[in-house]
A = this chain, B = another copy of it.
Amino acid sequence: MIGYPNRKKADANAARPVDYSNRGMPLEDDINATNAYYLDIDRAAVYKKPIPIRIVSVQYRTRQTAKITEAYYQTPSTTDYNGVYRGRYLDFEAKETHSRSSMPMKIIHPHQLEHLRRVIRYGGIAFLIIRFVVLDETYYVPADSVLPEFDAGVKSLPHRWFTEHGRLIPYHYNIRVDYLSVIDEINMEDKHQ
Q: Which residues of B contact A124 (CB under 8 A)?
A: 45, 84, 87, 89
Q: Which residues of B contact A82 (CB under 8 A)?
A: 82-83
A118 vs B43: C-alpha distance in the bound complex, in angstroms?
Answer: 9
Interface string of A23-35 (1 = CB under 8 A from B): 0000000000000
The answer, among B42, B47, B123, for a CB contact under 8 Å with A121, is B42
Q: Which residues of B contact A39 (CB under 8 A)?
A: 118
Tell me the number of copies of this protein. Answer: 2
The answer, among B52, B55, B67, B88, for a CB contact under 8 Å with A87, is B88
The answer, among B47, B69, B77, for a CB contact under 8 Å with A70, is B69
A122 touches B51 (CB 8 A): no
Q: A50-B53, A87-B88, A122-B44 are in contact. Are A72 and B67 (CB under 8 A)?
A: yes
Closest Cβ–Cβ distance, residue A127 to chain B (whole Å): 14
B45 touches A122 (CB 8 A): yes
A100 interfacial contact with B, CB 8 Å? no
Q: Which residues of B contact A70 (CB under 8 A)?
A: 67-69
Closest Cβ–Cβ distance, residue A117 to chain B (whole Å): 10
Please classify how large the interface on chain A is, using the bins under 10, 10 to 19, 20 to 34, 35 or more: 35 or more
A100 vs B26: C-alpha distance in the bound complex, in angstroms?
Answer: 51
Q: Which residues of B contact A84 (CB under 8 A)?
A: 89, 91, 119, 122-124
Q: Which of A42-70 contact B (CB under 8 A)?
A: 42, 44-45, 47, 49-53, 55, 65-70
A87 touches B89 (CB 8 A): yes
Q: Which residues of B contact A77 (CB under 8 A)?
A: 47
Closest 10 CB pairs of A and B: A87-B123, A84-B89, A89-B89, A50-B52, A68-B71, A84-B124, A50-B50, A84-B122, A45-B118, A53-B53
Interchain Cβ contacts under 8 Å between A and B, 9 examples: A42-B118, A45-B118, A51-B53, A66-B72, A66-B73, A84-B119, A87-B122, A87-B123, A89-B90
